[in-house]
């Protein structure tokens, strides 16, 4: 059973977003980490990098494949999870917690409204599987 926390927003490329004020914490969803398998390397954008919604900002490498990491919102990277360099497997173990990837200072908080809420994301995954 997929874990889809109700308090988060989701992108069509399976990133999750948790908004606090004008900062968005971003990671990959439970669905994404399941699909990827064992994650061995996370290439995250550096602090201070400008990112654009729906465009690539890094990548996640698993034993199976390299997957694009897309920015779900536009803004500037304000923090990068320092644990991931040594422990990329945190994305598998705790994707919504210790496995967060970056924090983004939102340039347009209104973009968050374009993302899916949990029920919409659940439906999106169900439709993808058919």
User: Based on C-alpha coordinates, what's the Rg of the chain?
Assistant: 13
Report the predicted TM-score, pTM, of the whole model to 2 decimal places: 0.96
Instruction: List the pLDDT tens digit at each of the 130 positions of the chain.
Output: 789 999 999 999 999 999 999 999 999 999 999 999 999 999 999 999 999 999 999 999 999 999 999 999 999 999 999 999 999 999 999 999 999 999 999 999 999 999 999 999 999 999 987 7
Report the SS3 class of residue 109. Answer: helix
Helices marked H in the chain: 30-36, 90-93, 118-128
Contact 26, 103 (CB under 8 A): yes
């Amino acid at each position: 059973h997929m874990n889809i926390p109700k308090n988060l927003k989701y992108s069509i490329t399976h990133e999750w977003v948790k908004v606090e004020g004008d900062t968005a914490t971003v990671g990959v969803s439970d669905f994404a980490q399941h699909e990827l398998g064992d994650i061995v390397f996370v290439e995250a954008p550096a602090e201070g990098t400008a990112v654009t919604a729906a465009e690539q900002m890094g990548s996640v490498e698993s034993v199976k494949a390299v997957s694009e990491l897309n920015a779900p919102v536009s803004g500037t990277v304000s923090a990068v999870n320092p644990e991931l360099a040594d422990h990329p497997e945190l994305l598998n173990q705790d994707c919504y917690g210790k496995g967060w990837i970056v924090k983004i200072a939102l340039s347009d908080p209104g973009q968050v409204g374009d993302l899916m809420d949990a029920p919409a994301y659940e439906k999106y995954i169900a439709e993808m599987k058919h």
